[in-house]
Chain A
Amino acid sequence: MHPAFSIIIFTTLSGLGYGLAALLGLGLLDPAQMATKAAHVIALALIGGGLISSTLHLGNPQRAWRAFSQWRSSWLSREGVLAIFTFVPLTWSAWLAVFESRWEPVIGTAGTLLCAITVFSTSMIYASLKSIDSWHSPWTPASYLGFSAASGATATALFAALGGAESLWPFALGAAVLVAVAWAIKLGWREQTGRPPLSTPETATGLGHLGTVRELEPPHMTDNYLTREMGFRVGRKHARKLWLIASVVGCGVPVVLLIGLAVAAGAPGGAATLVSLAALASLMAGILVERWLFFAEARHAVMNYYRGQLS
């Protein structure tokens, strides 16, 4: 599948935003701190920015409002509706933190729950597509939720350090554990992509009873929408290297940094902030590569009509 830049940015940034907002909703950070107030605003900005970015790949973005109408059948529509709905408790919580320096448990946890459901519905857009084997699995929502929680927890640790939280180690350790869990889920996701494909050139043409089917004459000599959108080869060519880069940058580095932060929790605030910022930056870089691979490596059933083995 073609890795559209706008969708990769949207899913990673809004994943981070929802993860951070979900943990802020649990009241883990002191709402009187300047850093916590900033965290609320930044979470909303990440979510909003991600949503706006997701409309950039539309052919007719001026009609995007229509996407709120088909929540009965469409996960994309559900995601849109839930995203708007989730803004209510999140904005409310942010208002309370920024202007009244307090945290309201009911509104906060309602926001947390809605954040999780929204990220789930984002992932179901992909997991519901039977035409793409590697996405059509419960591992897909699990890994989206895992990365959202991991990036949110790392961002929470950063804002805890910024706010000079008295005991920083639970934030750092919690984030390290969530990052490790997210990548463990992703490893499970990668394992399931090794399943034999649901469809083959033989089932696609119905000619399997006669023998092996190979494309002889393609219907068009240059690329078309289908081959551009559903076939993408660069990702597969470098998949192993990119996966290694993603796991080192996205998992190894942040886990080491966060555990270091937990161990040296008594260190001065400035250093703690820098280390947690480095952990978050590294994690997000790793998730970006992972998300790029998620699209670039995905093989669409229609490619069975187009020299399946090549694209």
Chain B
Amino acid sequence: MTSLPRHETPKKLGLVIDLDVCVGCHACVVACKEWNTGGYGATLSDQQPYGADVSGAWLNRVHGYEVMPDNSDGVVIGEAGEARVVHFPKSCLHCEDAPCVTVCPTGASYKREEDGIVLVDEDKCIGCGLCAWSCPYGAREMDLAAGVMKKCTLCIDRIYNETLEEVDRVPSCVRTCPTNARHFGDLADPTSEVSQMVAERGGFDLMPEQGTRPVNKYLPPRPRTPLSACAQPAVEDTADAAGFFGWVDRMLDRI
């Protein structure tokens, strides 16, 4: 049934992504592809993987943005204020009001009542692509070989998998992240580590104006010391040189 759960789900499993920490290494992207190509549902196919025009279905992608403050003239200057590069991982946000679920004509797309994970039942999917159109985040990609829609499952075949060691029962992207920029947990529980992190750091929603109420949250980059405020290396200043180096400095000045 593609209607959303009638009540708030008791658990809201999701990710918290720390934009301050991500270094844009794409390890999560590769780990996601690796796990999910052999896991839940159809393999994540690639088209012309060794050709010139490579493409394929991926459930997690890392964008890179430059954020440039405007000065008063409206001219963007790279070294003023908080100018910075932000690496930006993006995958399904497991929205509470997921438009991709309600538009599905076949009942393939659904949101789980127990933990809020948004999934696709690939045996029911006709590959019409309407769910991908309805998602403002681009979280869904069609598998062109299987003709069904693929999306992040929050590694449902890991997180409840008791044959794995407990440390591995988190999504593949979270497990692999070398900088600890990705965190997994229950965002319905205010005492959970992820909820506390969101509260402390001011975690935010992507495109709140779309009314999708994403479960996944992003933590903003921490304030940074602007380049202009950084201590300048004192290469030309020898005023405090004393002793032997002071004598060398004075002698060399005379030559």
Residue A310 interfacial (CB < 8 Å): no
Q: Which residues of B contact A213 (CB under 8 A)?
A: 65-67
- Residue on A with the closest CB to B217? A206
Determine if A222 and B55 form an interchain contact, defined as CB atoms under 8 angstroms apart: yes
**A306 nearest CB across to chain B (Å):** 8
* A204 in complex: contacting residue of B67, B82, B206, CB < 8 Å: B206
Determine if A77 and B63 form an interchain contact, defined as CB atoms under 8 angstroms apart: no
Determine if A72 and B134 form an interchain contact, defined as CB atoms under 8 angstroms apart: no
Cα distance A58–B147 in the bound complex, in angstroms:
8
Residue B31 interfacial (CB < 8 Å): no
Mask, B36-55, CB within 8 Å of A = 1, is 00000000000000000111
The total of interchain contacts (Cβ-Cβ below 8 angstroms) comes to: 210
Residue A215 interfacial (CB < 8 Å): yes
**B118 nearest CB across to chain A (Å):** 14
Mask, A56-82, CB within 8 Å of B = 1, is 011111011011111011111100100
Chain A interface size, as a band, is: 35 or more
Q: Which residues of A contact B86 (CB under 8 A)?
A: 205, 207
Q: Which residues of B contact A199 (CB under 8 A)?
A: 136, 207, 209-210
Q: Which residues of B contact A212 (CB under 8 A)?
A: 67-70, 76
Q: Which residues of A contact B126 (CB under 8 A)?
A: 58-61, 63-64, 66-67
Cα distance A69–B101 in the bound complex, in angstroms:
14
Determine if A63 and B84 form an interchain contact, defined as CB atoms under 8 angstroms apart: no
Cα distance A220–B90 in the bound complex, in angstroms:
13
Residue B14 interfacial (CB < 8 Å): no
Determine if A69 and B57 form an interchain contact, defined as CB atoms under 8 angstroms apart: no
Mask, A192-206, CB within 8 Å of B = 1, is 000000110101111
**A205 nearest CB across to chain B (Å):** 6
- Residue on B with the closest CB to A129? B134
- Residue on A with the closest CB to B82? A210
Determine if A76 and B103 form an interchain contact, defined as CB atoms under 8 angstroms apart: yes
Determine if B133 and A60 form an interchain contact, defined as CB atoms under 8 angstroms apart: no
In A209-234, the 8 Å CB interface with B consists of: 209-220, 222-226, 229-230
Q: Which residues of A contact B129 (CB under 8 A)?
A: 57, 59, 229
In A172-210, the 8 Å CB interface with B consists of: 198-199, 201, 203-207, 209-210
Cα distance A81–B108 in the bound complex, in angstroms:
17
Determine if B63 and A70 form an interchain contact, defined as CB atoms under 8 angstroms apart: no
Determine if A214 and B66 form an interchain contact, defined as CB atoms under 8 angstroms apart: yes
Residue B81 interfacial (CB < 8 Å): yes
Residue A301 interfacial (CB < 8 Å): yes
Determine if A224 and B210 form an interchain contact, defined as CB atoms under 8 angstroms apart: no
Cα distance A225–B44 in the bound complex, in angstroms:
13
* B148 in complex: contacting residue of A57, A60, A76, CB < 8 Å: A60
Residue B5 interfacial (CB < 8 Å): no
Determine if A69 and B148 form an interchain contact, defined as CB atoms under 8 angstroms apart: no
- Residue on B with the closest CB to A203? B207
Determine if A131 and B106 form an interchain contact, defined as CB atoms under 8 angstroms apart: no
Cα distance A128–B142 in the bound complex, in angstroms:
21
- In the complex, given contacts A57-B129, A70-B2, what are 19 additional A-B residue pairs having Cβ atoms less than 8 angstroms apart? A58-B147, A60-B127, A67-B128, A73-B2, A73-B104, A74-B105, A76-B128, A77-B106, A129-B133, A199-B209, A206-B206, A207-B19, A212-B69, A213-B67, A214-B65, A217-B24, A219-B90, A229-B132, A305-B137
Residues of B within 8 A of A (CB): 1-3, 19, 24, 29, 53-58, 61-70, 76, 81-86, 88, 90, 99, 101-108, 124-130, 132-138, 141-144, 146-149, 204-211, 218, 220-221
- For the complex of A and B, 6 pairs with smallest distance between CB atoms: A59-B127, A59-B147, A217-B64, A302-B138, A301-B136, A219-B61
- Show 6 residue pairs from A and B whose CB-CB distance is below 8 angstroms, ordered by the A residue: A131-B134, A210-B82, A210-B84, A210-B221, A224-B55, A305-B138
